[in-house]
Amino acid sequence: MPPEILQPVFSYSWPVVFGVFALSGFILGWTAQRGNYCFVNAMTSIFTVRSFERFGALLILFGLSALGCGLLVAAGVVPAYDQYYFNYFAGWYILVGSFIFGFGAALAGGCNLSMLYRAASGYVQNWIELFGMMIGTYIFAVGIWPFQLYTMEKGIFSTTSGGYVEYVPYLLFHSVSGTAVLLTSLLFGVPLISLGIYLQRYTRAKWSGKGGGFTSFSMSLNRALPVKSFGGNFPSPTPQPSGGLRLSQEVKDLLLLRKPYGTNLSTVILALDMIMVFLIGAGYTFNYLVITSSDGGRFFEYILMLAGVHLFLNTPWFSDSLSIVDASTLMVVMLCVGAFASSYLSGDFKIRIPREKKRLLIGFVGGMLVGIGVRMALGCNVGLMWTNFAQLGYDGIIFLFGMLGGVYLAVKVQERL
C-alpha cells in the first residue's frame, strides 16, 4: 500500500483553504434554501404520499458525487489516499446511530442540512432542534461513547482500521490503482444516477396517470407535507407551470429569486460543490463537507466554558473533538449566512413559531435524538452518508438504510400522536 499521507493537490496558504470552505458553505446554504432541499423530506414522502421524486434526487446526488470524485482520483488529479484517508471505521454504531438519527430528524422536522438553513430562515422549531442536538451530544459523550469506544478498539461488530480498509476499490480489487477506482466509481455512480432518474420518472408517470399530471402530484404534496408527520415544518414544492416559460425567462426568474430552484437543479449544484471541496481541499483538511454533527457539540462545549465548565478536562469525547477554529466550522457558519441571504433577499425570511407549541418540545426531543444518533454513527446525513458515497466507501450505504428505517418508524409514530 502507498503511504497514507495527505498530499495537497494545489500549493497555497491556509487562508485560501478557509476561503474555499467558506464559499462552499455559502453555496450549500444558498442552494439548499432555494431548493428546499431536505434528506428527511425526501424519505418521508416515500412513506406518506408514495413519492420517490426527491428520494430519486438524493440517489442522483450520491451518484454524481461518487462519479465526480472518483474520476478525479482515477485520472490521477487527486491521490487515492486523499479520498479514503478519512473513511470511517464501520460497525454496529453506524446502523444504530443512523436509525436513531432518522427517527429524531423526522420527529423534529429536519435533517442536519435543512435544520441549519431553516433555522437561518427563521424557523424557531429548528432553533430548538439545534439546542436539543447539543444536549444530545453531551448525553452521548457521557453515557454512550465509553462503551462504543471499547467496542471499536476491540473490533466488536466493527472494523478497527478505517482508511483504505473501508475503501470499496480496495475491497473489490485489493488495489487503489486508477483502474480500480475508475471501475468502482462507475459501479457506484451509474446505477445510482440511473435508479434516481427512473424513480423520478416513475413518480411523475404514476401521478400523471391519476389525472391532472405532475401539477396534481405537487398539489397533493402541498396538502400532505405540512401534517404532523413532518413536524409542520416542511414547505411544499411549488407546482410547475404546465406550459413552461422560455428558457431565458426561466433563468432570469431564478437569478432574480422570483422562483425557487427545482430539485434536480439544486442536486447538480450541490454535487458540484462537493466535488469542488474535494478537489481544492484535498490534502489540507477534511476534504469533503462536514456538517453540524461535531460542530454542534463543540459549540456547546465553548458555551459552557463561559460558565467555567470545561468538558475537555473530564469528558473524553470532548477532549478528542476538533478545535472550534477549523475549516468545517467556518463552512457551517457560512452555510447559515448563505441560507439567510437567500431567504432574506427572496422575501422568504420570517420568524416562524409553530401554532402547536408542543412542536417545540417535539423538536427539542427530536434534536436530542439527532445529537445522539450522529455522534454514535460518527457523522450525519451529509458529513457521513453523502460524503462517504463521494469517498467510495460503504458506510454511506449502511447509513442510508438505517436512516430510512428510522424515518419510517417516526412517520408511524407521528400518525398516532
Handedness of CA 302, 303, 309, 314 (dihedral sign): negative
Query: In this predicted structure, what is the pLDDT of residue 208?
Result: 80
Residue type (1 letter), 38: C
The mean per-residue pLDDT over the stretch 378-382 comes to 90
Give the span between the Cα atoms of 120 and 232, in whole angstroms.
Answer: 17
- 99-146 tens-digit pLDDT: 999 999 999 888 889 999 999 999 999 999 989 998 999 999 999 999
Residue 313 has pLDDT above 90, yes or no: no
Query: In this predicted structure, what is the pLDDT of residue 163?
Result: 72
- Between 54-68, 195-209, 279-293, 368-382, the lowest mean confidence (pLDDT) is in 279-293
- According to the per-residue pLDDT averaged within each range, which of 63-77, 124-138, 142-156 is highest? 63-77
- According to the per-residue pLDDT averaged within each range, which of 177-191, 197-211, 229-243, 376-390 is highest? 177-191
Stated length of the chain = 417
Residue 12 has pLDDT above 90, yes or no: no
Q: Which helix (H) or strand (E) holds 395?
A: helix 395-414
- 247-270 tens-digit pLDDT: 687 777 787 788 889 899 999 999
CB atoms within 10 A of CB 331: 27
The mean per-residue pLDDT over the stretch 211-224 comes to 39
CA neighbor of 90 nearest in space, from 394, 403, 321, 400: 394
Query: In this predicted structure, what is the pLDDT of residue 294?
Result: 61
Q: Mean pLDDT for the chain? A: 85
Give the span between the Cα atoms of 373 and 382, in whole angstroms.
Answer: 13
Residue type (1 letter), 244: G
The torsion of the CA quartet 82, 84, 86, 87, rounded to 10 degrees, works out to 170
Residue 213 has pLDDT above 70, yes or no: no
Residue 232 has pLDDT above 50, yes or no: no
Q: For 123, which DSSP code?
A: B
Q: Where are the domains of the chain?
A: 14-414
Query: In this predicted structure, what is the pLDDT of residue 324?
Result: 60
Start-to-end CA distance of the chain, whole Å, equals: 54
Query: In this predicted structure, what is the pLDDT of residue 373?
Result: 95
Q: Is 76 exposed, middle or buried (0-12, 13-18, 19+ CB in 10 A)?
A: exposed
Residue 222 has pLDDT above 70, yes or no: no
Query: In this predicted structure, what is the pLDDT of residue 320?
Result: 64
